[in-house]
Every structure is written in C-alpha cells, then in structure tokens.
Amino acid sequence: MRKQAPSINSSKFEKPRTRQSPRPSAAAAPSRNPILLTAISGLLVGFILYRQIYKKKPSSEDLAPQDFDFSARFNATAGRYDEDVDRVEWWYGITKLRRKLVQQAQGNVLEAAVGTGRNSEFYELRRIASLTLQDQSKEMLEVAKAKWREQHPEYEHCKFILGSAFEPLPLPTRGEMDPPEVDGYDTIIATMSLCSTPGPSLFLRSLAGHLSWRRAAVQDDGGDRVAARILLLEHGRSYFSWLNYLLDRTAAAHAKQYGCWWNRDIGKIAEDSGLKVISTKRKHLGTTWVLELGLPADGKGVKRQQWLEDTRQQMVVLEAEVAQAHVEWKERMRKEEEARRKEEDLEAWRREQREQILKPKGS
C-alpha cells in the first residue's frame, strides 16, 4: 500500500520522521549562505540604484519645470488613484494622520485640492456648519462627489466647486455667526496638495485669502472663538541630506509619472507664504509634514484687501516666470532633438562608409 504523504500543516509541527536530508555538498554550500546571498542582493540593488539614480542623466523631457500644471495627469488617473495609494498610505500611517487632522475641522470648512476625497470619511459633521470641496480636476472631483454621497447621504451642507484654489471662491453658504457675518472659511484643509500645484507658496497665500479674517479679529477682541486656520498634511524634503539627494535625483521622473514633486521644502514654502506657522510636526524621516497655519499675526495689522492685492501681483509674476520656464524648456528639448537627429544621421553615414569599404571589389 502506498504511504500517504504528510499534510503541509502537520509536517510544520511534527518532528520529521524521515531521514535528515544530507548536509549540502561543499560546492552547493555557498549558494545557501545567507550572508553571501544578502551581500550579492545588496550589491545588485546598489548597482541598479546607481544606474537609475546616479549614472542615468535625466533627459530634458523628464525635467519639466517645477511649475508644470499636472491637471491632465490627474484627470487621466482619477479612476485608479485611490487603488494606487490606499495600501501605501495605510502602511505608512498616513490614513491615521488624515483622520487626526480632519477631525479638527470646524465651522465653515473648505477642503482645497480635495482630489478623490480621501479625507471625507473623517469629518466630524456635528462640528461642521458647511463643507466645500474644491479641486481643479473634473475627474478627481467627480470621484470625491460620488464618495461623499455614498458616505454621508444625509448631509445637506456640502458643495463641490470645480476650479483652482488660486481663484476667488463663493462664501460659505451657512455660517454659525448670527447675524450672518460670514466673510470666509473657519478651517481650510489641504492634504498632499503642495507637491502638485504650481507656485505652492502662492497656493497657501490664496488659501489664506479664503479664510475668515473677521473671525481672527473676533478672537483678538477677547472672544473665545478659535481663529481661522489652515491645516495641512503634506510630503516633501527630509531631515537627511542622503534622502534629499535621492528625492532630487528622482523627482522629475516621479513628477512626470504621478504629477507630484516629492522634493519640495514644505517648511520653506510655508515661511515664504507670509502666513503664521503655528506648528510643524514631521514624520517618516522628516518627509511627512503636518502644519497648522494662521493669518499673519492672526489678521492684526495686515488688511485683507492688501493681502489679496499682493497675492494677485505675485500671481502675475509667477505666471510670467512659468511661461518663460516653459519656453526655455521647449527650446532645450528642441535642441536636444536636433542633436539626436544629427547623431543618428552621422551614425547612418558611418555605417554606409564601413559597408562600402568592406564590399568585395568588383561586386
């Protein structure tokens, strides 16, 4: 009778009854040496990274200016965006950070650059008078809309705005002040947004223009309201120069594929915006940033109209710079293409010459 093979589960726990397998021969031994295997794999990975990151010079096509507009990329990837990032965000604890940030939202809330609405499940609706979800990508916003309606079918005070955060926004529809003196939003949330917008400091300045400046003044007058705030969860440069080096080397290719510049200095962007940086926390070797921003000196001394006017002027300068950078980038690409064609023609000519020389005489 044939002996029954042991089941996989049982063999895991029982002592093997069969004869111990013979020791590996001297010739086979090295391939099972874990240290050697690790060293070889390490060298291989190192070599690939060296080729990919250090040796490989990115082409001009990869080096689009940092202010490239990535809306087309987001329109194209909206349908699979969540699937692409869900697992990674969960593993890295980003999902928890989202929850913690968004639960602080109160009053009239704007989520700018909302994307596919990855934060919408975390809002504490009893603290929220109204919610405005805004993005400049139609397809991303459509996903956010469908998600919100599924998650919060009862909630009536949510509206969706297709457009850029740089542009003026309608005021929130439902204010908690009585008589209604709503002049802007109490909380503005933006997550993973500074990596994908041109002029990130100006983006923050524009958000500040949408805040309730009057609310800040109420607090200054001794009121107990929390002044209007911008709450950010972002990713960017690390504490460590070796990691920044890797981020810099790969930034252009990553941006081309995902529409996101992962090597931006979020702290500097916040400082350059002119807003008050109330708190900054960093995780993941410093690459994940959680920031709380307020109006400059909480609105004291700076007039909203002046702020908006300065922001508008800076926008004009940025637009001119972006246009110029694009002209230069296109010119660089044209020259590179010309040089490549010349090189190909020369190579074809050389090949022809070699064939002529090698051709047997008289044929």
Sites of contact with ligand SAM (CB under 6 A): 71, 74, 112-115, 118, 135-137, 140, 164-166, 191-193, 196-197, 203, 260
Cβ closer to ligand SAM: 193 or 238? 193
Name the helix (H) or strand (E) containing 294.
strand 288-294
Cβ closer to ligand SAM: 120 or 175? 120
The nearest distance, CB 139 to ligand SAM, in angstroms, is: 9
Confirm if 293 and 273 have CB atoms less than 8 A apart: yes
The nearest distance, CB 289 to ligand SAM, in angstroms, is: 13
The nearest distance, CB 94 to ligand SAM, in angstroms, is: 9
The nearest distance, CB 210 to ligand SAM, in angstroms, is: 11
Cβ closer to ligand SAM: 68 or 227? 68
Respond yes or no on whether the N-terminal peptide bond of residue 179 is cis (omega within 30° of 0): yes
Rg of the chain over all Cα atoms, to the nearest angstrom: 29
Cβ closer to ligand SAM: 86 or 337? 86
Q: What are the DSSP E strand ranges found in 100-186?
A: 107-111, 128-135, 158-162
Cβ closer to ligand SAM: 92 or 245? 92
Residue 334 CB neighbour total at 10 angstroms: 11
- How many Cα neighbours within 13 Å face the side chain of 212? 29
The nearest distance, CB 318 to ligand SAM, in angstroms, is: 11
Q: Alpha carbon of 131 to those of 177, 253, 295: distances in Å?
A: 16, 35, 20
- Classified as helix, coil or strand, 131 is strand
